[in-house]
Structure 1
């Protein structure tokens, strides 16, 4: 089978959402992502996806399209025998556009794995001894909305077997309190994760957690409580919650290996959220290995990603084997064919034990 890229294409593909995906800093009303397809001369295809979240990263679909179109022209005729080296060569061209880099890396790795006849997870060296981990469950997100909507979401997904709920907070503290308590009431034995998306100050966050404590609704993990550059706030919250049973997790604050080193060196957080759209897959793996070597728990998250990127991230989790929290649920918010991952069931469990070569998801390019 040919190992040379013969053709490359980039396209914006849209899909409707089941409901608007609302967080403290903005919302998605539809999936509108940039996809790349690389094809070898004998027809093998590798796919990648850039999920652009302008309200979080400042990236745009237009700039991502331009970056990927420029890269595809240069990729033609290149071999994918050493996919990581090829990805590293192109990474400097995606400075400030990590979603575009993630898409390119995904497509190169997918094509290489398909040509070799192996699942994508076999391309990543493990970060811990027990890897690969081929079966694991995702949480489900409760987006910002009314308490009744939170209750309905928790009721629906608890009945399907979901055991962890990630509740978006940070817009209205009184409403947030009622929403968290509604989820706790519906699913009293579930794992609670709170994601503030930078919506609090350190003092307000600790006060809010005290209120939850009085209701018996302490979360196991608190994600990005303060603005991304507020390292002092993160550090203070982490120190205050040491030994409490609640981890403080950096998301927006850690988008690179350098950010991760800073967070670890100053004990700013007790967990880190890795997303391919923040750092790409190659650097994301480096962050995971650094965190694992320092005993830092890890979450694997996503932007508004379709089954292509979500399944690639599932392979990433399986191969590295070091993730304590899996937050790969966005396909449950999408309608249509891009919502289906062959390795994810209706209860939120991934199983890659019989994974096909590559990522295992194709994209309907037109």
Structure 2
């Protein structure tokens, strides 16, 4: 028997309490109701994966993710893990509406392969680098929350702040941005509306920031996913780079954004698209001259470390939004990414993503 054949595959709920609701324009979960995946190879190697469904973004739930995983379990047993790309394509066909389930399986598969071959995933993905400068998020909330969150982020040594907007009016969000600018005068500022604005509201927001003298380095997904014309209109007229997130779920989406001038950059998230699809998206974005952000859903150290390996190993990323593990109150993992003063590092990892159960 080949040592890399998949011999066992198990799933279980991974419920993680958050330090605060992860509030965005479309929802505010207080728990990360994720799924832990264990994949075993014939030689006894075990790879770990995580699925992090975010209902507000993809419509997935923990229950639907577990159901999706169980539906493909039997078809994966006996397969050779070395064929991870065709297996990823197979999962794409079988689970087109369950990207976080696909991603969790792909991460477990790649972790097992990395451990089998004693290769860290950043090297597996290309070895371009081992570290990334990250931002941290100010979730949606009132002005007092914005001020206290900004102070806490600065205290961590993080120098880029991403602010969730779109849950309130554009005028209220401008006031929050002014306060954050006051509390963190040296920080680079991003805004992420998660599709919560219209084109008119987006313009009001940008004009308000300009009037208040608040510099914005990036404006992410200002309008809903399907408003392709609105994204293109803002991309043409805005002096602030526009980044697509919800509008960039597949390689076809990235191709459409590039052809229509729908964004200056795209946010890749493994949970949103899966690993194999994200690789195709990375290639298209790079070939089109678009900027790249690496992001995530509400993920633990396990999935965040995997995303860091992906982005650092491939290289070419202009922004890294890999902070959701900092919102998790406690978990049972050890190892994985290390962080100091706003920079994550995975250069110490010897095999796979480097995360183990504590």
TM-score by length of 2: 0.95
User: 1:332–1:339: 8 Å Cα contact kept in structure 2?
Assistant: no
SS at match of 2:356: coil
CA distance in 1, matches of 2:269, 2:282: 10
The one of 311, 318, 324 aligned to 1:317: 311
Shift of 1:280: 0.5
Alignment check: 8 A CA contact 1:87 1:108 kept = no
Q: 1:132 matched to which residue of 2?
A: 128
* Cα root mean square deviation, aligned: 1.6
Deviates further, 299-308 or 35-44:
35-44
1:128 aligns to what?
none
| Residue of 197, 201, 204 corresponding to 2:198 | 201
339-348 or 190-199, larger mean C-alpha shift = 339-348
CA distance in 1, matches of 2:202, 2:311: 30
> Of the candidates 131, 145, 158, which is equivalent to residue 162 of structure 1?
158
Match of 1:299 among 284, 293, 310: 293
In the alignment, structure 1 residue 268 sits paired with structure 2 residue 262: yes
Q: Does 1:218 align with 2:210?
A: no
- Stretches of structure 2 lacking an aligned partner (at least 5 in a row): none
What displacement does 1:202 show? 0.7
Cα 1:110–1:191 change in 2 (3 A) is same
Corresponding residue for residue 283 of structure 1: 277
Structure 1 regions of 5+ residues with no counterpart? 126-130
Residue number in structure 2 paired with 1:10: 11
CA apart distance, 1:84: 1.9
State whether residues 122 and 130 of structure 2, in contact with CA within 8 Å, keep that contact through their aligned partners in structure 1.
no
Judged with a 3 Å threshold, the aligned counterparts in structure 2 of structure 1 residues 158 and 197 are, in CA distance, closer, same or farther, namely: same
The more displaced of 336-345 and 298-307 is: 336-345
- CA separation of 1:206/1:14 partners in 2, compared to 1, >3 Å: closer, same or farther? same
Deviates more, 1:108-117 or 1:66-75: 66-75
How far residue 346 of structure 1 moved from its aligned partner, in angstroms, is 4.7
Matched with 1:146 is 142
- Cα pair distance change 1:313/1:223, threshold 3 Å: same
Output the CA distance in 1 between the equivalents of 2:293 and 2:245: 9
SS of match in other structure, 2:23: strand
Q: How far off is 1:72 after superposition? A: 2.3
Distance verdict in 2 for CA 1:341–1:267, change over 3 Å = farther
Give the total of aligned pairs. Answer: 356
Shift in Å, 1:295: 1.1
